[in-house]
Amino acid sequence: MIGPGRRGFGLAALTLAAACALPPQGTSETDRANYLAAARSLDCALVTEGDYVAMEIQSGLSRQQLIDLTGYYLATERAVRLPEGGVKLTTGACA
């Protein structure tokens, strides 16, 4: 069992790590804006393969860039994992 002091340290470390997360290399502010705009058109949720294909088409980003940006938004707590699978953005127009 982990004592309360250790649990608090872990939470603080996770918060610090999320605060220090940098946008993925090779993505610009415009890329991030295009990502969020495309996500908004999908009700801010990426669940199916079709959602990712639509995101690629609308944003002009590669699949890897979408995956990297999704990971970035998860790490910075601007997205959440959905219980049924997938991700929901919680930032920008998706807030």
Q: Is residue 84 part of a domain?
A: yes
Over range 42-69, report the average pLDDT: 96
In the chain, the number of structural domains is 1
Q: Is residue 19 part of a domain?
A: no
* CATH code for the domain of 49: 1.10.10
Nearest to 70 by CA among 84, 11, 38: 38
User: 93 vs 65, which has greater pLDDT?
Assistant: 65
The angle subtended at Cα 93 by Cα 38 and Cα 44, nearest 5°, is: 50
pLDDT band at 20 (very low <50, low <70, confident <90, very high): low
pLDDT at 11 over 70: no
Domain, as residue range, for 79: 30-94
